[in-house]
Amino acid sequence: MDKDLLRALAMPKIIGHRGAAAHAPENTLASLRRARDLGASWVEFDVRLTADGRCVLLHDDLLDRTTDGSGAVADATLDHIAALDAGSWFDPAFRGEPVPTLEEAIDLLEELGLGANIEIKPHDGAEIETAEAICRIVEATWPQSLPAPLLSSFAMPALETAHRMLPSVPRGLLLEHVGEDWQSLAGIVGASAIHCDHARLTAARTREIRRAGYAVMAYTVNYAGRAAELLAWGVNALCTDSPDQLCGVT
The one catalytic residue in 23, 59, 163, 195 is 59
Asked if 23 is an active-site residue, the reply is no
- Distant-in-sequence, close-in-space partners of 11: CB < 8 Å, separation ≥ 6: 42, 115, 117, 150, 193, 215, 217, 236, 237
- Cβ atoms of 155 and 168 within 8 Å: the answer is no
DSSP annotation string for 128-146: HHHHHHHHHHHHHH--TTS
Q: Which amino acid does the sequence have at 11?
A: M
Q: Measured between alpha carbons, how far is 231 from 214 in angstroms, rounded to an integer?
A: 15
Q: Measured between alpha carbons, how far is 73 from 93 in angstroms, rounded to an integer?
A: 25
Positions marked catalytic: 17, 59
